[in-house]
Chain A
Amino acid sequence: MPTTATFPSATAAFRGGVKSALTSAFFLVLAGTYIGMGALAHGFGLASWWLALSTVLVWAAPAQVILISSFGGGAPLIEVALAVSLSAVRLFPMVVALLPLLRTEGTRVRDLLLPTHFTSVSMWVESLRLLPGMPREHRISFSNGLSVGYMGTAATFGFVGYYLAAELPPVLAGALLFLTPMSFLMSTARNAKAMMDQLALVLGLALGTILTAADVKLDLLWTGIGGGTLAYFVHRLREAAE
């Protein structure tokens, strides 16, 4: 793997991460997604600072969408917690897949606490793309810089969407909300270069629709385990055939 970036110090690596965040395609994607999120929070009568705090603490757009719409819509708290938790199951395998890229021999658990909290779609996709071409000792700093850049972008545009939503007609507000699934679809597809990831994406789209339509309980969990495992086994079979 060719080295794409080297840094003189950890601070430089952190700054490199921030810069990478602010100049990547995800900057626009996050800006769009969180403008949509701001519109949603406004629609459900939540405060703009509440949204900003949820961005820092939850830092996962699907969980935030569910939290805003169900809590804001007055759903029972236990139902909100369960729905948020189900949407967040994907963070578990993401962390498991990411941390081996960040770790070196001397890495302490507390060095991994921030990257663990920062793990989300945007940071995960970009980390998996950029970190392999980088010396191991600077990966954590770079990844933290990347995350701080993304989180700052998200929080800022959450405010923008919140105040825009008050002014927009319903069709345009709907278009703002459409930004979230569209940006997620494209960014996941962009990262799915291996056949297994593409298959998992297609199976997840199909199963997610079918299981929700059939009103199956824990639909997201079954979508992930069913679609993901099937894609994994097809990948193993093809490897064995080669």
Chain B
Amino acid sequence: MNAIWTELFPYVALILVGYLPNEMWRAFGLVLARGLNEDSQIVVWSRAVATAILAGVIAKLIVFSGGALGGIPLGVRVGAAVCGFVAFLATKRSVFAGVLVGEGALLLGGWLVGL
């Protein structure tokens, strides 16, 4: 019994603390979106809020990184992100070019600080 529970626990946790707290916001959206069109002011405002939250997640992942990325200095991470973004702008908004240059700058920076 205990062995089975140890096996199953990560999957039960995935449902309870991963799937449900995440999915509830989609469900709220489905309920609230009835009767709205894409030009409604609440929809325009919602788009701005969604974009700002996503930007917050991006900033947190770059500035307050954990794991193996946290082992690379903050200056290198932020500098690499800036390099990537400049490349993105210089290539008429190519996501691929931006990510590639950002990754290259991160590896170069890591190598320069002796990692």
Contacts and interface: CB of A to CB of B under 8 A. Distances in A.
Interface of A: 25-26, 28-29, 32, 39-40, 43, 46-47, 50, 53-54, 57-58, 60, 62-65, 67, 69, 71, 77-78, 80-82, 84-85, 87-101, 109, 112-113, 116-117, 119, 121, 170-190, 192, 196-197, 200-209, 211-213, 219-221, 223-229, 231-232, 235
B6 interface: no
A53 B71 CA distance: 29
Interface in B70-95: 70-72, 77, 80-81, 84-85, 88, 93-95
B64 A203 contact: no
A205 B57 CA distance: 8
Contacts of B27: 116
B14 A53 contact: yes
A91 B22 contact: yes
- Most chain A beta-carbon neighbours within 10 Å: one of B45, B62, B64, B65: B45
B58 A91 contact: no
A204 B52 contact: yes
Contact of B95 (A29, A88, A203): A29
A90 B57 CA distance: 10
Contact of A208 (B20, B38, B60, B115): B60
A65 B61 contact: yes
A164 B40 CA distance: 46
